[in-house]
Amino acid sequence: MGSLVQVPFHGRSIRGWVLGATDDVPSRVLDVRKAVSPVRFFDDDMLELFRWVSERYVAPLAAVIARSHPPRVVSEEAEVLPGTAGVAARQVVSSRPLVDHRNGVELSRAIKGGLGTFIVRPAPEDEVDVAVEAVATCLAGGRRAIVLVPEAAPVPATAAAVREAFGDRVGMLLGGDRRMRYRRWLEILSGRFEVVIGTRPAVFAPQLDLGLMLVSRESHPAHREDRAPYHHVRDVSLRRAELSGAACVLSAICPSVESTLLAATVVSPAARRWPPVEVVRPGPEGRAPRLVRALREAKRAFLLSPLHGYGVAQVCRACGSPAACAACGGVLRSEEGVVRCVVCESTGRCAFCGAADFGIRRGGAERVEEWAAATAAVRVRRVPPKGKARLPVEGEVLVGGPEAIRDLGPGGLDLVAILDADLAERRPGLASRERALSTWMEAVGWARPSGRAIVQTEHPNDPAIQALVRGNPDRFHEDERRRRKAAGFPVGAAVFRIAGPPALETSLEVLRPTTLLVSFAGDQTVCLLALEPDRVPELGRAVRELAARDLVTRVEAEPHL
C-alpha cells in the first residue's frame, strides 16, 4: 500500500494511490499499468489519519494524500538513504525543569511512554527550554517526536534550539527549495531522524514510533493550511497523537479559545511569572506621559505600533476634497515617502481632481519612530513590514507591527509598549480580538524577567486588556466563548465556506446548520455555515452529492473568521 501507480481509465492513463487489498472487486476493473515510484508514501496508520482529515474537512482523500508530502522530485528517489545513527546530543540543561511545573510530572510521564493532551502555558523566558526538554524526555523514552512551528523565516527560536540540542538527530522541514524538501521528506521516511521540525506540512511527516506531537505557538493563525484540505495543525496533531498513542502538547503563552474546549491537562509555572503591565490612556497623539517617561529611561525596548507607514491622507491639498483613491475610492496611506491606496495599491491620486498632494493625519510606525527618536536616550529603529524580525540589541528601541512579533527567544527587554490596543476592536473579523491578545502577550513576554510593559487603551476593563495585565487569558476566553456563540459561530462548531450557483442556499438549508450566512460574489452564491462537529460527515455526504450535480464549486473548511 501507499504506492503511486499508473492505471488505465476511460482510455487514458491516470495516477492513483494504492490504499490496500480488497475482496470487493467490481467486474470492469483493469490491471495497474505500472508503479510510478518505488516510494511507499504512507502506511495503514497514516491512511487512517488521511481518511480522518478527508472527512473532517470535507476534502477528497486524494487531495489529502497529495498534500501529505512535498511535490516529487523523481531524481531524488534513487538516492533514498538508509537510516544512519545520529550524533550524541548536547546535554540538555533547563533552568526550570518540566517537573517543577504544575502538572509537570504527569506531562513528563506521558511524553516518555504514555499519551494524553496537554496545554502548556510556559513562562515567556522558558518557552524554548520547555520545548527542548519535552523533546529530550520523548527521546529518553525511546520514542520519536514532531515539533510544529507556525513560521519558517526567520527560523523560530524553538526550532533553532531543538536543532542545536539534538544535532544530526533532527530533520528540519522548514522552507528550502523543491529538491531539498523532497529529499528531506524521503530521509524522514527512511527513519533517519528521531526529531522532525517543520511548518504545517510536517504534521504529516512519516515518523514512526511517535511519542510526542508538539505544537509551538498553538494559537498562531499560520497553523491553519489555507489550501485544500484547509486542515488545522492543532486538530490533526491531536488526532495523530491519539492514533499513535503519543502525547500531544499544545504550547502557547496565550492558547487559542478552541483549545479551552479540549479535555486537556494545563501545565504552567508553579508561581506566576509575568511582567508588571501598566494600563494608561493614550494621551495626545497616542503618547501618554507615563509612556514618554518610560521611553526616556529605556535601554532596550520594543514599541508595538499596529499601523504601517507615516499616516493616512485626510484631504486633497489641490481641491480640498476628502482624500480617496482615484481608482477604487480606498484609503490612501503615506508609507516610506509614497502615498498609496491600502486597498488596490495604486499610487495616490485624488478621486476628484487627480492631484497627488495630500494633507496627512500622522500615525503609524514611521511617525512613532520619529517621535520616539526625539524622546529616547538610545537609538530608535523600525522593523519594516517585510523586514527581518529581531529583538532590539542593548541600547536600542525597536518599533514594529504585529508581523514583528515572532518566536525570537527570551526577550530580556526593559520596556514593551502596546501603543494602540483599541485598534484591534476596529479590525474586522470575529477572531481579531483573540489574535490581537495573543500577539500582545507574546510581545509583553519579552519584558521578562525584569522589565515592564505599558499598554495604551481607552478601555482598561476590556477582558482582553485584563488578560494582558494578569498574563492569564482564562476570563477573556469565557467572554470570547459567549461572544462567538452570540455571533452564531460557537467555539468548537465546524465552519465551512461553500460556493456554488444560487440553488446552493436551499440545498444547504435542509441540513439545518446552526448558522447559515449567504453572500454573493459575481454569479456565485457563497454560504458560510456553522454546524455541530458530529454532523460534518452528514454535510460531507450532502456536499459530494451536490458537487456531482454541479451545485457546489468550492468548499473551504474552517475559514479565518
Which parts of this chain interact with Zn ion (CB under 5 A)? 316, 318-319, 321, 325, 327-328, 330, 341, 343-344, 350, 352-353, 355
- Closest CB 352 distance from Zn ion, rounded Å: 5
Q: Which is nearer to Zn ion, 336 or 509 (CB)?
A: 336
- Closest CB 1 distance from Zn ion, rounded Å: 53
CA 167 to chain centre: 26
- CB half-sphere exposure, 501, CA atoms < 13 A: 6
Q: What is the dihedral of CA 97, 102, 108, 109, to 10 degrees?
A: 150
Q: What is the dihedral of CA 6, 8, 10, 12, to 10 degrees?
A: 60
- Closest CB 338 distance from Zn ion, rounded Å: 14
Q: Which is nearer to Zn ion, 315 or 389 (CB)?
A: 315
- Closest CB 316 distance from Zn ion, rounded Å: 3
- Find the angle CA(47)-CA(202)-CA(85) to the nearest 5 degrees: 95
**Gap between the Cα atoms of 505 and 205, Å rounded:** 38
Give the bridge partners for 358, in sequence order. Answer: 316
- Closest CB 335 distance from Zn ion, rounded Å: 14
Q: What share of the chain is helix, strand, coil (3-state, %, to 5)?
A: 35, 25, 40
Phi, then psi, of 163 in degrees rounded to 5:
-60, -45
Q: Which is nearer to Zn ion, 61 or 318 (CB)?
A: 318
- Closest CB 171 distance from Zn ion, rounded Å: 45
Q: Which is nearer to Zn ion, 163 or 349 (CB)?
A: 349
Q: Which is nearer to Zn ion, 334 or 507 (CB)?
A: 334
- Closest CB 413 distance from Zn ion, rounded Å: 38
Q: Which is nearer to Zn ion, 346 or 514 (CB)?
A: 346
Burial of 109 (0-12, 13-18, 19+ CB in 10 A): middle
- Closest CB 426 distance from Zn ion, rounded Å: 20
Q: Which is nearer to Zn ion, 283 or 359 (CB)?
A: 359
DSSP letter at 261 equals G
Q: Which is nearer to Zn ion, 329 or 537 (CB)?
A: 329
- Closest CB 340 distance from Zn ion, rounded Å: 8
- Closest CB 307 distance from Zn ion, rounded Å: 18
The reply to whether omega before 449 is within 30° of 0 (cis) is yes
Q: Which is nearer to Zn ion, 208 or 344 (CB)?
A: 344
Residue 5 corresponds to which amino acid?
Answer: V
Q: Which is nearer to Zn ion, 318 or 423 (CB)?
A: 318
Question: What is the b/e burial string over 411-431, where b = at least 16 CB atoms within 10 angstroms of the residue's CB?
Answer: bbbbbbbbbbbbbbeeeeeeb
- Give the three cell numbers for residue 280: 494608561
Residues 6+ apart with CB under 8 A from 497: 526, 527, 528, 554, 555, 556, 559
Residue 8 CB neighbour total at 10 angstroms: 12
In which residue are the cell numbers 467572554 written? 479
**Gap between the Cα atoms of 432 and 426, Å rounded:** 9
**Gap between the Cα atoms of 18 and 428, Å rounded:** 45
- Closest CB 337 distance from Zn ion, rounded Å: 19
Q: Which is nearer to Zn ion, 261 or 353 (CB)?
A: 353
Distances (CA, A) of 334 to 307, 327, 400: 11, 17, 16
Q: Which is nearer to Zn ion, 11 or 428 (CB)?
A: 428
For every residue of 284-311, DSSP letters joined together read: GGG--HHHHHHHHH-SEEEEE--S-SSE
CA 286 to chain centre: 30
- Closest CB 336 distance from Zn ion, rounded Å: 18
